Amino acid sequence: GAVVSQHPSWVICKSGTSVKIECRSLDFQATTMFWYRQFPKQSLMLMATSNEGSKATYEQGVEKDKFLINHASLTLSTLTVTSAHPEDSSFYICSASTGTSDTGELFFGEGSRLTVL
Amino acid sequence: GQNIDQPTEMTATEGAIVQINCTYQTSGFNGLFWYQQHAGEAPTFLSYNVLDGLEEKGRFSSFLSRSKGYSYLLLKELQMKDSASYLCAVMDSNYQLIWGAGTKLIIKP
């Protein structure tokens, strides 16, 4: 099946620094990718929809200046957490759809666990 | 508002059968998904239902009743590795996925 790779898997940073997370579709082109965050024992929360070549669409309550999303190519989307604070510590997951499956199946990256000290 | 309900936690015995229910109220319906998520990992796709009825895939089956806004995931011959969270998600009329909070399944020997 389609493979989505996410990097880094784990990142620890100091408060005030910025962290970039990459999401790559390895064997297919993804015109749309999705970014989620997940707190412990909670479900996925959609943060934004990333569209190749255009601005991301953010969900209500998600600060677009805080969580910068760039979808520079059909196989790469990046999420940058700017001026990270401890409350930004979370599990960040990306997903992508091939757009060709009748099931509309999403393929998820491995996730990136961010810890802000 | 849009709402997905599923039990928070269930416990079952290795080798047994368990049914995880999901009820939903969404603006429109374009399919229901079940995902499995092990602790600390990303979800993996299990099943997709868009028509009423039962879809069987090995030890896992998923059922949908659109008129009742109801689905269940059936796991047979439970194995210890099936211990995970099971997420129910519905695609609404805008093709947005609405996620349930997940059901943590605990398998005991």
Least confident of A76-80, B42-46, B78-82, B95-99: B95-99
A24 CB neighbour count, 10 Å cutoff: 19
Percent of chain A with pLDDT over 90: 55
pLDDT band, very low/low/confident/very high, at A1 (cuts 50, 70, 90) = low
Q: Which one has a higher pLDDT value, B25 or A101? A: B25
For β-strands A10-13 and A67-73, DSSP reports them as unpaired
User: Is A84 a residue whose pLDDT tops 60?
Assistant: yes
Number of H helices, E strands in chain B: 0, 11
User: Is A90 a residue whose pLDDT tops 80?
Assistant: yes
Which of A23, A44, A107 to mutate to test binding with chain B, by most B CBs within 10 Å of its CB?
A44
**For range B66-82, the mean pLDDT:** 97
CB contacts of A44 in chain B (<8 Å) are 43, 87, 99
pLDDT tens-digit map of A55-76: 899 988 999 999 999 988 889 9
Closest CA to A52 of A71, A70, A34, A35: A71
